Structure 1
Amino acid sequence: MKQTARVTVLGAGAWGTALARLALTNGNQVQIWSRRGPSDLATAVADADIVMSVISMKGVAALAGQLQVANLKPSTILVTATKGLDPETTRTPSRIFRDTFPDNPIVVMSGPNLSKEIEAGLPAATVVASTDVDALTLVQQVYSSETFRVYTSPDPVGAELGGTLKNVVAIAVGVCDGLKLGSNAKAALITRAIPEMLRVGVHMGAQVETFYGLSGLGDLLATCDGTLSRNYRVGYGLAQGKKLDQILDELGSTAEGVNTTHVLVDMANREGIPVPIARQVHRLLRGVITPQAAVEGLMERELKPEACDLKARN
């Protein structure tokens, strides 16, 4: 018999609303909390079995502090569905929650999950990742349905970084499509992005195999193939000559890949990680180069065997 739970979703955006509806449809008790809403955070999480955080990266550290003041129960499972890196510490959302709540089970949810398609009832799959098996089992039960298949993973770092790093690649792919460079260039870009993601992920403690699953390759393909991705639309708009501020205003919501790119390149510079695609996206976002120059910068790199990058582990 499927387990049910009391679920509090923190964040009332498109993805938070979709996750709330998925849990509600499965017969769980669900409430949504928003910073702009009337309900008190401490009251919203007081009796929750699962607290699902679906807020933008810039608000995660502050939210963790608020939850600490709210005296979150040690048994409450904290699930993060946010994809990004903290600009001050380079920590992922799950690392922030783990540092703040060392006694609580922490779960990462990540995968090829475009919220508009899930809201429309189209079939999708995701990964929930944690080192706590009991927490994984409950979250899997709460969210699994005929249209939303939930897999489990023991690698929360890899699941989270796959969903985070692909946003940088999505910006690059948006540029590629915006410049009408064709399917060959797009396929090459996405393929070359995988070893780059691997280098960063393994450096940060992730398992290689995770990047070839739903939260890595799966999320990368979904985010790089269509206008439903905010990060893709950032790259596409830049290729059309629009300014970044204008694009973000038109989106009306957060494109996490912008912040992630800046944080990633700073970290790569500091720790010596080769990230050629992210580096060109970084320069483009800062207005240092044009979209055409970014593509040329990638095409003019030194000639070498493909395997030398695929075998890179740090």
Structure 2
Amino acid sequence: MSDDLTKAGCCAGTAREATDHPYEDRARGVPPADAVTQADLRTRLTEIPGGIFEMGTRKSTYPDDLDSPVRKVKLDPFLISPTTVTNAEYARFVEATGYRTVAEAEGWSVVFHLLLPDAAAHPHHPPGLPWWRRVEGAFWAAPEGPGSHWRDRADHPVTQVAWYDALAYCTWAGLRLPTEAEWERAARGGLARKKFPWGNRLEPEGRHAMNVWQGDFPRHNTADDGFVGTAPVDAYQSNGYGLYNTTGNVWEWVADRYGPRPAPGRLPERNPTGPCDGLQRIQRGGSFLCHVSYCDRYHVHSRTRNDPDSSTSNAGLRVAADL
């Protein structure tokens, strides 16, 4: 695999050169957890009612995101985790299986520069994205490279996981990634035609309701919401379905590929699963780096994409299952 750095997606740092994928075969070959463990993981999921909802937005800020126009979608009931997978949960999986993530296999990942004690010590970055730095030895258990450790943030979302690493966790857990439609249905919390899980105001009643950027991107984050990097997975108020942090904090991998979407029809799409072809995979929800001056993809309809072997310090996963 090439170690070139290229630009990909919104606030994304890594896009390793795409190849066909021993990583996918390895992820699907992870041995499953025992039945008791899988049952325990499943009991932690939240049931989301089926039905018809409006997906997307009337007018997109970023046309290439393909999040408009609004389309009606009909979903069967399903289960989804109320939080993203934590560092502690991912550590349990790695301990049980010995799985090595893409970043471990490649020997590096990218880290947002303000999270590094000395960004100047890591001069290599993707073209046009100097706020992302290539760090040798950065991976999920050492998110900012040597000297950092997941135990310092056990209840924060696991990061530095590629789509294939998310697939591996799901294979072990007996779960799956949500489809994009399932993710948005759950993220909205039962509200219709709203920008956020709580309504339309970025800061309802003058309070911070999610972990995003404040200040001057990318040079100075005032951390008025309490965090420069990730926040605990259950920070802030849950939405109407009991899900936490469906906007902000970390981008969340979903199952769907990125590609052209069918024009809205007269009848709702039924349980859509996205395009059949295409390399890049969709991420949803925005992250702690989203800011109106650069990337305001922190709405419930917002989406971006990245290559499935790309890992960053602002992307994680949430899991789902059939009811």
**Normalised-by-shorter TM-score class:** under 0.3
Structure (1 or 2) with the greater strand fraction:
2
Structure ranking higher on relative contact order (CA contacts 8 Å, 6+ apart):
2
TM-score normalised over the length of structure 1: 0.24
TM-score normalised over the length of structure 2: 0.24
> In terms of Rg, which structure is larger?
1
